[in-house]
Amino acid sequence: MLAVDIGNTNVTLGALPAEKRRDAPAPLAGWRLATHRHATADEVGVTLQGLLSAAGPSLDLLAGVVIASVVPPLDPVFRDLSEKQLRHRPLFVVPGVKTGVKILYDVPGEVGADRVVNAAAAFARVRGPLIVADFGTATTFDCVDRRGAYLGGAIAPGPQMAAEVLYQRTAKLPLVGAFHRPPHAIGKNTQDSIASGLFHGYVGLTRGLLRQIAKEMGGRPTVLATGGLAAVLAPAVPEIEAVVPDLTLEGLWRIWHVNSVKK
């Protein structure tokens, strides 16, 4: 089956075994494409067909398609791609779809599909109170209690977004390269100073929010991290117990099964 996570910066796709099992399987193949809001179903389909052919799985062998999207303009594109080229009606993670977690947000429909999917995947792993820290375009923190209820969380700009705003809103500060841990907190040049502010600033933001959230939840919730920048930040955040790169794909796989999609 094909799991698709349509994010603001990237579209992440994973081909996973369709058969049901207790533990979510690792993807047979996975890809990350840049998000292009004006892409057509034909363009995405040609790219996907090439990727699947190179990796081994055939489009004809797909048992189903499940999609989490936070980019509404691309929803009809991927629906059209799934129905016409993959010959499957896609399951979109939207309000009303069974996820395995009860949403306690004031307005449940406001919760991003990716956040719900991550919460569902994390609870299936932990089976107890937890926090998911997702370091992507935005930095999000999502909380689940011991009964599997989604409590809410926190949202902050992601490090790359912060770097871009710093560059765009100042006259002389440069746009720094990839988010990384600088050798020292005290930068000796502008590039290193910005890198230090971003890295150590986000470490402080992460640790501070995790402490405050855990205090409000009570006890010691398990903390899992995911997202493209998790591997960079996690070593400096001792509260994070594990980095799960494919957490969203895991959650999509589980939600596909929970909804008894015809296979």
114 catalytic? Reply is: yes
For the chain, domain boundaries = 2-92, 102-249
| Superfamily name and number for 102-249 | ATPase, nucleotide binding domain (3.30.420.40)
> Do 102-249 and 2-92 fall under one CATH topology?
yes
Q: Which position among 60, 75, 106, 114 bears the catalytic label? A: 114
Residue type, 63: A
Burial track 94-121 (b if 16+ CB lie within 10 A, e otherwise): eeeeebbbebeeeeeeebbbbbbbbbbb
Say yes or no to pLDDT of 263 above 50: no
Residue type, 199: F
Say yes or no to pLDDT of 231 above 60: yes
Residue 210 corresponds to which tokens in the numbers above? Answer: 């995790």
Q: 0.75 exceeded by the pTM?
A: yes
Write out pLDDT tens, residues 37-69: 999 988 998 888 888 777 765 666 789 999 999
Query: Looking at the domain 2-92, which fold is it?
Result: Nucleotidyltransferase; domain 5 (3.30.420)
